[in-house]
Each structure stands twice: as C-alpha cells, then as structure tokens.
Amino acid sequence: MLLAFLAAVMVAGSAACVMAVVALQRRPSADLQHWSRTVPVLGGLEPETHAWGRFHARFYPMTLVLIAFEMEMMFMYPWAIVYRALGIKALVEMGVFLVILSLGILYAWREGGLGWQ
C-alpha cells in the first residue's frame, strides 16, 4: 500500500514538472507580453491603480473592526468543537470573550470609528 502511494506521488510530481516545462516553452501572446511579467496578476485584468497606492485614513478603523470579527470567528470554531466536552465552563469563557469584543465595538461606534463620513 505504501509503495503504491509513493508511486502515485512520484507520477503526479513528474507530470507536474513536465507540464511546467511545456507551459514555459510557449511564448505569451503579443497583447499580453507588454505587462504580464511586470505587474501582479489581478484576475486576468490589467490593474487600474498602482499596488503601492495610499488609502484614506478612514479605512483603517474599519479594517481593525473587520480583523476583530475575524479573530472572533477563529476562536469560535474550536470552541464549538470542545463545547460539549467542557460544558458550562466553555459557555462562560465564550460569554466573557464576546462581552470584551462587544465593548470594543461599542467604543469604536461611540468614537465614530464605524462611520464613513
């Protein structure tokens, strides 16, 4: 079984290397050649702005709130898995976490960090 798996990995790896070599030998078309190797890929379209462009400062507080919500979700997924095993202790811990997060969001709202003005 192990030898069959190793053989399959070797065949797949070799096939990927061969496909890469074949793909690199082809020339890009004339309309894509002028910018395709000098700018980052943007879904196949030419970018409208430079990658190092500046953003207005009003976007940063909203970004921090988004990151706070993302961290909340990253904490809630493992919590949901161990909730049944830990019982009421896990429920209290999640309640404390959500209260602290809610206080931060209320503070940002009160200070006007969530407005787009």
**DSSP element (H, E) containing 37:** none
Q: Coil, strand or helix: which one is 64?
A: helix
Which tokens go with 115? 């407005």
pLDDT, tens digit (0-9, with 9 covering 90-100), for 37-83: 555 565 666 667 776 778 777 777 778 778 877 877 788 888 888 88
In sequence order, the β-bridge partners of residue 65 are none
Rounded Cα distance, 70 and 52, in Å? 25
Residue 8 phi, psi dihedral angles, 5° rounding: -65, -40
Sequence spans of domains, the chain: 1-50, 59-110
Task: Evaluate if residue 7 carries a pLDDT over 90.
Answer: yes
